[in-house]
Structure 1
Amino acid sequence: MERCGWAGSEQIYKDYHDTEWGVPEYDSRALWEKLILDGFQAGLSWITILKKRDNFRAAFEGFDPDVIAGWGDDEVARLLQNEGIIRHRGKIEATINNARAWQSVEQRIGFDRFMWNYVGGTPIQNAWPSLAEVPPKTALSEQISKDLKKEGFKFCGPTIVYAWMQACGLINDHLVSCPQHPTCRALARQG
């Protein structure tokens, strides 16, 4: 069995594939962090974000949405000077906005429950034989994107949402030839 071809040859990428990608994530804050990082990836490669992830975590106070929700222009200006992250004003401002949106959803229902309800609490188990067959988005990611936008989230289009669903294990999109496919399947909670 061979790991999914997108994991490439860099050890950081292989480790991410083997230990994180597709593993069901049930923690509300961690789900939010991954959504933010997928938003920062828009227009870039994931390896770029992965290599800067520790810098992002430091710059964004461990991705604590309760801290970030209180930020304003001073923090945006500070982050725009931070060479260790992606310095994109729109994405930085969206992160602050999304922290506030997260707080609202978290208080009302729980961000984790809000997201996992889309798949009935159990990851979708796909069985793709090749990367060429894996879609960039689905009707479900389009619906989630629309619903997140209704909740006030930004930088959460259907392609970003689909990548996030894959990363967080709401969908098991490891290829059937990958050793992580059965591993992630076994980690799934049932409902």
Structure 2
Amino acid sequence: MTAENLTKMTDKVLAAKVLMVDPKSASESTSKVSSSDSTNESGKTDKAKTESECKNCMKDCKVCSTNACLTVKKTEELVARVKMVEDQILSRDKLMRASNERIKELSERTEKDKTDVERIKKENEKLIHENRQISENYEKLKRTKKDSDERNGKTLKENLQLSGVLQAK
């Protein structure tokens, strides 16, 4: 390698470092590198490629490959960040859907429970009413039995008295 080639490579490495440190666009850095004259092995000086030629270049030149490499790295980093944010959004969406489903399920269950509570409350009131009626009927039966027993006692006494009177006659 000649000193001239080393100088060209150094310029290109410095340009790449500027791109990494300085967030300026790749075209500005390319134009800085391209604007300097380069010399080939025969000692002739060629004008470096212009910015537009370098962008459209399909050859394997150092400027294009350095810019392309940095651009690819930045693009990959951005794609990774976008994917990470996208994954976070999707996971939050899944959590939101699951939460909404759970809320809906619990709301339906609450409504069902309210309906069940009302139904049970009505059944309970009905049973309480029936229990009161049964208690009242039981008390009536007890009084009727007591009255009946009293009448039977009186009737028995009367029958005994009548049978005693009839026997005495």
What range describes the TM-score normalised by the shorter chain of this pair?
Answer: under 0.3
Instruction: Look at both structures and tell me which one has the larger radius of gyration over its CA atoms.
Output: 2
Q: Greater RCO between the two (CA within 8 Å, min separation 6)?
A: 1
More helix by percentage:
2
**TM-score if structure 1 supplies the norm length?**
0.23
